Amino acid sequence: MNWDNQLSSIISAADGSVAKMRERLTTHGRLSREREVFPMRERSHAVGLEPGVPPLLPQASPALSGAVQWADLAGLQAQLHSHSQTIEFLSKSLMSVERERNAQQRQIQTLQEMRRLEEKLDDRERQRERERERDREGEKDPGVERRLEQWKREVGRELSSLRGHIDRTTSLGNQEEFSSKLRREEVEQLRREVDLLKNKLTLENLTDSYRTHSFELARMVSQYQHTQQEVRELLTVSELKDEVRGLILRDRLSTPAEVLCKPVETSPPRRVLSDSEDDFSPTPSLGEVSSDDLDGSWLGESSGSDLSDAGSGLGSGLESNHDDTGGEVGGGLDSPPDLSLSDL
């Protein structure tokens, strides 16, 4: 830019003047610090305070060469000051230019955005106009309408076919679910029926076993009653025999020897009667029973053997239900008949 070129030229000129001043200082050497240094310094200060005053012309005398150099320095200082002011002014102007440039760029961006928006709006308007023109052309052209109608029909057919397929799949799924539910219910019902059949079978088995046990129990009870009846009959027979023998002995002791012959003669009819009664009665008669048959050992053995068999049969099946009956039986069977040899 122009401002950059001007600034660079000013800086290069300042550098050149500084270089010239250094060359002059190095060529002439250092001046003495006695009489000439102080007035020249005051002169330099005065010159520095008044930058607008032009520098003095150099004189031909060699004594005033140092003063001339200080005058050059003051002039250079004034130039530098002016250059610094110009630089500050230029920097301020440069900043203002940059601000203007930024503002212009922002304005340009806003304008570009507005232009883009306008272009978009124009494009939309154009598209709308084109669509309107197409609609107008379609209204004018019957072929386009026919194509649209055909396309709509095809789309409707596809949609109807898809809906039918979806309905079929859903119905099949519902049927499968319903069939699965029915199968589950049938399986549950079959399980229940199987459980009922098992329970019935177990009940039938239990009833059969109970019936067999009850039948065995009744048979054993009947056998026991029969044996008890037989034992009672034998006891009664033995008692009757004892009474008859006692009566016979009393008759023998009370009557004489002559009278004893009559019972001997009359004894055969009794024997006949006893024989006839033996044919009809299952129990032994009084004539057949002797004193040897009525021995206590025989009665004990017979009663013990019969009752031990009956007791073993009853004890195996009726330990809990017939304790009282067993006790009565045991008490009746364990007591032997009240017979003794003294009665004979």
- Residue 130 confidence (pLDDT): 83
The domain boundary residue, chosen from 106, 126, 146 = 126
Calpha distance 69→58 (Å, rounded): 9
Taking residue 329's Cβ as centre, other Cβ atoms within 10 Å add up to: 19
- Residue 68 confidence (pLDDT): 59
CA distances from 86 to 10, 140, 160 (A): 9, 78, 89
The domain boundary residue, chosen from 126, 153, 174 = 126
The domain boundary residue, chosen from 126, 141, 159 = 126
Higher-pLDDT residue of 303 and 14 is 14
Q: List, as own/partner pairs, every contact residues 310-313 make where C-beta atoms lie below 8 angstroms and the sequence separation is at least 24, other chains included.
A: 310/220, 310/223, 310/224, 310/227, 313/220, 313/223, 313/224
CA distances from 160 to 76, 119, 155, 172, 173 (A): 101, 45, 9, 18, 20
Residue 209 lies in a domain: no
Residue 73 lies in a domain: yes
Residue 10 lies in a domain: yes
- Residue 240 confidence (pLDDT): 94
Residue 262 lies in a domain: yes
Domain with 117 in it: 2-56+65-126
- The model's pTM is 0.25
Residue 93 lies in a domain: yes
Write out pLDDT tens, residues 96-136.
888 888 888 898 988 888 888 888 888 888 888 888 877 77
* Number of domains present in the structure of the chain: 2
Residue 82 lies in a domain: yes
Write out pLDDT tens, residues 163-177.
888 888 888 877 788
User: Are 232 and 120 in a shared domain?
Assistant: no
Q: CA torsion sign, 322 to 325 to 327 to 329? A: negative
Residue 167 lies in a domain: no
Calpha distance 72→21 (Å, rounded): 8
- Residue 75 confidence (pLDDT): 80
Calpha distance 148→145 (Å, rounded): 5
Q: Which amino acid is at 205?
A: N
Residue 120 lies in a domain: yes
